[in-house]
Amino acid sequence: MPSILFINRVYPPDSGATGRVLEQAAVTLTGAGWGVTVLSTAGDQPGPSTVVRDGVKVIRAGGFFSKSSLGARAAGYALMIPSMLLKALMLPRADVVVTMTDPPMLAVIGPVLRLFKGSKLVHWAQDLYPEVAEEAGVFKRGGLLAGVIRAFSSASLKSHDLVVSVGRCMSERLSLRGIPSERIRLIPNIGMERDIVPCVSRGNPFRIRNGIAPETLLVMYSGNLGRAHEFETVLEAARLLKDQGEQGILFLFVGEGPSRLLVEREAAAAGLSNVRFLPSQPGAEISESLGAADLHLVTMRQGMSGLVVPSKFYGVLAAERPCLFVGPLDSEVARVIREVGCGETIGISEGAKLALTIQAYRDEPHRIFEDGRRGLQWLQRQSDTGSQFLQCLENQNCLSKK
């Protein structure tokens, strides 16, 4: 049988979006007769270093990841990459080796594995480095360190047989890096939302538990409040609606992340009584949580187009709700919204437009149903990530010699 080795920091039951999307692909390939091995770190999981989950052999290397500080996190990543390389070199040869972008720069180990193992190489880009770090302010944009990392990253990617992107905007970025277009495949992160089912918003248990009145128009941001996301435009819209005396519109942030405390402080400083915060909800209650909202927000900072594609967007569509996207208008999410008609797009700093858009949905409630239905129907027509990954690998030209 054909064999494949996936390398990524996390794999379920460890939390992490990259682990969930990887699990979907790994289980699909196992079901199709592939021998699948996943090399990840130990994380928080006790027990044996090698287990089999759903037919997938999962090997966990030593844990190097730390959440204590940015410096500790960077050190953990620096140690993780050579550790995973050494572990991979000790494993039996796989026909195909797939690296992901957790930790960043993991793609650089691919050429070494090819040298010693002769495997075909695939890099599955969930985001692009060092550009993400530059936009987030971790690296100086255009600085020496970023330039050196970019050179290493580009050289490594050019040596791969295939580079998978998660959005058209990312494929365009990869082409600008000099990756030949025939070696780039687009596979969106569709399928992680498979457990989400549409729920009614009025009389929703989540609303009842949290004291949200049935007549309230609930605008929700659900998920990680990360450095790649933009919140100033949302807070500006909330301020404008408050100043207009709007009493029946509530902005609700559900989730954690490095930007949450800052957003909370800004909302409090502005006296935004129409903004609330709740922690992340249990996975078993995600349908109720997402279904409680009338409108969902997905945001992205300027400059992040093509570097990340928020997978929470597909969860919004699965919940059968319109998506209000705040961010670069050339990003994958903005393109799908315009093509499908499943929400509205709002540019950065267009808080007034966002406020007017929310009021328009409030005044024409049938649009909530119609836009939500279009989004769900479009999503149901798409093949999930695992199926697309399998189809790509089994295409005889997909991993042909360069």
User: What is the per-residue pLDDT across 37-62, written as a single tens digit (0 to 9) for each?
Assistant: 999 987 665 556 889 999 999 998 86
pLDDT digits (tens, 9 = 90+) for 186-242: 999 998 888 899 988 888 999 999 999 999 999 999 999 988 899 999 999 999 999
Q: Token pair 């609330």 is at which residue?
A: 276
Q: pLDDT, tens digit, for every residue of 240-288?
A: 999 999 999 999 999 999 999 999 999 999 999 999 999 999 888 999 9
pLDDT the model gives residue 397: 58
Q: What is the pLDDT of residue 402?
A: 45
Query: How many CA atoms lie within 13 Å of 360's alpha carbon, on the beta-carbon side?
Result: 12
**What pLDDT is attached to residue 70?**
53
**Alpha carbon 317 to chain centroid, angstroms:** 15
| The two structure tokens encoding residue 168 | 């058209």
Whole-angstrom distance, CA of residue 246 vs CA of residue 228: 30
Task: Choose between 284 and 328: higher pLDDT.
Answer: 328
Q: What is the pLDDT of residue 171?
A: 96
- DSSP lists the bridge partners of residue 343 as 323
User: What is the rounded radius of gyration, in angstroms, for the C-alpha atoms of the chain?
Assistant: 22
Instruction: Return d(Cα 14, Cα 27) in angstroms, integer.
Output: 16
For 323, the token pair is: 């998506």
Helix, strand, coil percent content, the chain, rounded in steps of 5 = 45, 15, 40
What is the Cα–Cα distance from 259 to 156, expressed in whole angstroms?
A: 32
**H-state helical runs in 294-350:** 312-318, 332-340
Give 138's pLDDT tier (boundaries 50, 70, 90): confident
Residue 269: burial class (beta carbons within 10 Å; 0-12, 13-18, 19+):
exposed
Q: Residue 63: pLDDT band by 50, 70, 90 thresholds?
A: low
Q: Mean pLDDT in the chain?
A: 91
Instruction: List, in order of start, the domains of the chain with CATH numbers.
Output: 3-190+383-394 (3.40.50.2000), 205-381 (3.40.50.2000)
**pLDDT tens for each residue of 4-37:** 999 999 999 887 888 999 999 999 999 999 999 9
User: Could you give phi then psi for residue 334, rounded to 5 degrees?
Assistant: -60, -40
Helix locations, 121-259, DSSP H:
131-135, 144-158, 168-176, 205-209, 232-243
Distances (CA, A) of 99 to 96, 103, 107, 162: 10, 10, 6, 11
Q: What pLDDT does 168 receive?
A: 96
What mean pLDDT comes out for the span 87-115?
Answer: 93
The C-alpha atoms of residue 189 and residue 19 are separated, in whole angstroms, by 12
pLDDT score for 128: 93
Each residue of 64-93: pLDDT tens digit? 554 555 555 656 666 788 989 999 999 999
Angstrom distance (rounded) from CA 290 to CA 220: 8
Q: Is the peptide bond before 12 cis (omega within 30 degrees of 0)?
A: no
Higher pLDDT, 136 or 56: 56
Question: So what's the pLDDT on residue 401?
Answer: 46
pLDDT at 243: 97
pLDDT in the model for residue 44: 60
Query: How many residues are present in the chain?
Result: 402
Closest CA to 168 of 192, 190, 187: 187
Name the residue with tokens 């928080």.
44
**Distance (Å, rounded) from C-alpha 20 to C-alpha 49?**
19
Nearest to residue 270, comparing CAs of 262, 280, 259? 262
